[in-house]
């Protein structure tokens, strides 16, 4: 099941309603509403259809292949609000309302993309951003939103960087008569946060273990042949340890960078040896990188960096060698398991419990976690408390952007609905919710229907809801980040992985890409769309090289701007070929 879909309001007897649309078959029609899907759908009688994967909220969870009439009647009586209480997964629920309008609900995980726009005044929705845009050649880059994204992805609202294309936020429902639409929030992460609660029961790790294993195994049962990306880091190791031992075909893949930071093969080997899983080791290769090619251009944001091209090339080879039904990943684990290295948990605990032994314990935990002195931690925590403000403050990155771009952004500030913290919220929980929002932007490694899907089981709704109930200070217990997750799997994973504090990644390979392609990157930017549209300041490109960490930071920024440039060119080229 690919989860690819297209929804449009056509004329009631349009011939198109009977045809396939871009490889998709019609699965539902009523009046002027038409729904197409690639792959099987869950039908709910004559009044709706569900696209994607859906599971029951039981332990263990079960795959839903149909919703019988009694279950549908219960959902209808609740106004379909019970969808999030009774089910989870990666799905879009489509159904007729009592007034004859069409309602489209996107599940809280955001694992199935959903974008909407309009063509000829009629609403259309799709898993594909280009199909949600008008099909008359009008789709192009929204340069204000692109500048906003480069200023801070956290500053994005529902609008994407493609003109006229909006994201249906996870947990939200769009209702339309075909020409107008209303959007309502049916699920919010804030529904699971209790700012007044003191420390949770000590069984949080046990619940976390049971819920994680259930979510991972439920997803694994949907795909016979899985490739799991592993690094020996905590998150991917937890996914590996949670896979069912009877799974027919699981291959683990680790990517090796050119520097010690990027070589995590030792940790990955420790993991796979302990679990008895096969491990494939692949080195990042400059020959697989084209800085002029858009990375993940199917997404309506330039979210991906160039190293992902190498991962895609390896995936293609593995799929050619043996069938691959899904690519599993530990992505989102840092976000769900509330990985933070700041004094925010101290402020949360002080606001919740006041002065006491618990607060002292959290101060020591932050000292151990950050390797900062007691005085420095207390001072930083007090300053954070004195500044006040319990919501999440977006931290912008204006480096390299033109004055015109930053002024335009300042004059049109928007906020993602999840960042609107309720009164009395704790700053640690606001940061946790922001992390969850951030995790949902880059889930789609491949276009739906073009390749096996990427599955991030740690972002499953039951696990997210559970983790939101755990106070920020419990996540840094004993001076370790993601402490509850470490405790939950301490009896399953090797101690070397549970206690690992180093963090690897492709940073060294990205620096190597820049060193090899620096002239091309700078030429692309100087003569490119971002300078033409006054998003990038040309003077930034001509600044001399900077030694040390500041030079590394500039390199990272240049590569991010290059990724945005190549992404914008891919959308502009698509626009020019459809005119």
What DSSP assignment string belongs to 208-242? HHHHHHHHHHHHHTT-SEEEEE--SSHHHHHHHHH
Residue 201: the pLDDT is: 57
pLDDT, one tens digit per residue, over 285-295 is: 999 999 999 99
Distance (Å, whole) CA 24 – CA 5: 7
102: nearest Cα among 44, 174, 208: 174
Q: Which residues pair with 286 in a beta bridge?
A: none
Measured CA distances, 409 to 148, 211, 299, 441 (Å): 6, 41, 22, 20
Alpha-carbon radius of gyration of the chain? 24
Residue 549: the pLDDT is: 63
Q: Which secondary-structure segment (H or E) carries 104?
A: strand 102-106
Residue 135: the pLDDT is: 54
Residue 17: the pLDDT is: 47
Distance (Å, whole) CA 460 – CA 216: 9
Distance (Å, whole) CA 522 – CA 81: 51
Sign of the Cα torsion 96, 98, 103, 108 reads negative
- Looking at the whole model, is its pTM more than 0.85? yes
* Residues in the chain where the model's pLDDT stays below 50: 11, 13, 15, 17, 199, 578-579
Residue 381, Cβ neighbours under 10 Å: how many? Answer: 22
Residue 579: the pLDDT is: 44
What are the φ/ψ torsions at residue 251 (nearest 5 degrees)? -120, 135
Measured CA distances, 356 to 138, 176, 352, 398 (Å): 61, 53, 11, 41
Contacts of range 154-158, beta carbons closer than 8 Å, 24 or more positions apart:
154/392, 154/394, 154/395, 154/416, 154/419, 154/434, 154/437, 154/438, 155/394, 155/396, 155/409, 155/413, 155/414, 155/415, 156/301, 156/414, 156/416, 157/414, 157/415, 157/416, 157/417, 158/183, 158/416
What are the φ/ψ torsions at residue 314 (nearest 5 degrees)? -65, -45
pLDDT, one tens digit per residue, over 142-168 is: 999 999 999 999 999 999 999 999 999
Residue 524: the pLDDT is: 96
The first and second tokens of residue 573, run together, are 């080229």
Distance (Å, whole) CA 410 – CA 346: 32
Distance (Å, whole) CA 247 – CA 119: 45
Taking each continuous run of H as one helix and of E as one strand, the counts in the chain are 21, 17
Residue 15: the pLDDT is: 46
Distance (Å, whole) CA 385 – CA 378: 10
Q: Which residues pair with 6 in a beta bridge?
A: 36, 126
Do residues 252 and 277 touch, judged by C-beta distance below 8 A? Answer: yes
How is residue 322 annotated by DSSP? S
302: nearest Cα among 570, 573, 97: 570
Domains by residue range for the chain, with CATH? 4-187 (3.60.20.10), 204-336+436-498 (3.40.50.620), 507-578 (no CATH)
Q: Where are the alpha helices (DSSP H) in 421-545?
A: 427-439, 461-468, 483-488, 495-498, 507-526, 529-532, 538-541
- Residues of the chain with pLDDT > 90, as a percent, come to 72
């Amino acid at each position: 099941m690919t989860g690819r879909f297209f929804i449009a309001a056509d004329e009631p007897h349009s011939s198109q309603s009977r045809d396939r649309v871009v490889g998709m078959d019609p699965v539902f029609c009523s009046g002027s509403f038409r729904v197409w899907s690639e792959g099987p759908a869950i039908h709910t009688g004559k009044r709706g259809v569900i696209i994607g994967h859906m599971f029951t909220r039981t332990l263990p969870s079960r795959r839903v292949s149909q919703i019988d009439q009694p279950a549908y009647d219960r959902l209808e009586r609740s106004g379909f609000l019970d969808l999030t209480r009774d089910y989870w997964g990666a799905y879009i629920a489509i159904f007729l309302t009592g007034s004859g309008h069409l309602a489209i609900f996107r599940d809280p995980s955001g694992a199935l993309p959903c974008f909407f726009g309009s063509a000829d005044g009629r609403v259309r929705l799709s898993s594909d951003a280009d199909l949600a845009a008008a099909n008359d050649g009008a789709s192009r880059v929204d340069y204000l939103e692109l500048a906003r994204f480069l200023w801070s992805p956290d500053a994005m609202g529902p609008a994407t960087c493609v003109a006229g294309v909006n994201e249906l936020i996870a947990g939200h429902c769009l209702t339309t008569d075909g020409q107008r639409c209303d959007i309502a929030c049916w699920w919010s992460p804030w529904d699971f946060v209790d700012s007044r609660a003191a420390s949770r029961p000590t069984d949080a790790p046990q619940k976390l273990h049971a819920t994680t294993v259930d979510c991972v195994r439920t997803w694994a049962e949907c795909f016979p042949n899985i490739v799991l990306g592993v690094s020996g880091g905590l998150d991917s190791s937890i996914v590996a340890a949670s896979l069912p031992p009877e799974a027919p075909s699981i291959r683990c893949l680790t990517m090796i960078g050119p520097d010690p930071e990027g070589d995590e093969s030792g940790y990955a080997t420790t993991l796979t040896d302990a679990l008895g899983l096969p491990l494939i080791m692949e080195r990042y290769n400059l020959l697989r990188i084209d800085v002029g090619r858009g990375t993940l251009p199917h997404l309506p944001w330039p979210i991906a960096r160039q190293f992902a091209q190498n991962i895609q090339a390896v995936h293609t080879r593995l799929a050619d060698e043996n069938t691959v039904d899904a690519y599993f990943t530990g992505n989102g684990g840092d976000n769900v398991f509330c990985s933070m290295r700041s004094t925010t948990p101290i402020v949360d605990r002080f606001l919740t419990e006041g002065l006491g032994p618990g607060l002292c314990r959290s101060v020591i935990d932050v000292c151990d976690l950050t390797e900062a002195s007691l005085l420095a931690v207390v001072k930083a925590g007090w300053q954070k408390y004195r500044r006040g403000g319990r919501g999440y403050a977006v931290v912008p990155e204006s480096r390299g952007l033109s004055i015109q771009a930053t002024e335009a952004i300042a004059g049109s500030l928007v906020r993602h609905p999840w960042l609107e913290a309720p009164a009395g919220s704790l700053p640690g929980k606001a940061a946790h919710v922001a992390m969850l929002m951030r995790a949902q932007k880059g889930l789609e490694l491949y276009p739906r229907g073009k390749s096996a899907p990427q599955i991030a089981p740690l972002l499953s709704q039951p696990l997210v809801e559970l983790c939101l109930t755990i106070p920020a200070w419990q996540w840094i217990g004993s001076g370790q980040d993601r402490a509850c997750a470490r405790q939950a799997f301490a009896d399953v994973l090797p101690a070397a992985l549970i206690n690992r504090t180093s963090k690897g990644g492709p940073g060294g390979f990205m620096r190597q890409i820049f060193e090899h392609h620096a002239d091309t990157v700078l030429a692309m930017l100087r003569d490119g769309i971002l300078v033409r549209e006054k998003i990038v300041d040309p003077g930034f490109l001509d600044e001399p090289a900077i030694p040390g960490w500041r030079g590394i930071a500039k390199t990272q920024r240049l590569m991010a701007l290059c990724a945005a440039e190549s992404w914008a060119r891919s959308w502009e080229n698509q626009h020019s070929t459809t005119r």
